Amino acid sequence: MAIALEFIDFVVPIDLIRQKYPGGWAQCLQDHERLIGGRVWFDEHLLRDGAMNPADIESLVEEWTSLGFQPTAELDGQRIWQDCCVVESMLGGPTLPCDWLELSEDGRSAWLKGTQPGEIKWRQKRMPL
Domain boundaries, the chain: 2-121
What are the Cα distances from residue 55, in Å, to 8, 26, 51, 73, 74?
Answer: 11, 28, 9, 21, 23
Quick: pLDDT tens for 59-100: 999 999 999 999 999 999 999 999 999 999 777 789 999 999
At 125 the pLDDT is: 55
Residue 5 has pLDDT above 50, yes or no: yes
d(CA 18, CA 4): 22
pTM over 0.75: yes
User: How many Å from the N-terminal Cα to the C-terminal Cα in the chain?
Assistant: 29
Mean pLDDT estimate for the chain: 90
The average pLDDT across 94-112 equals 91
Residue 40 in 3-state DSSP?
Answer: strand
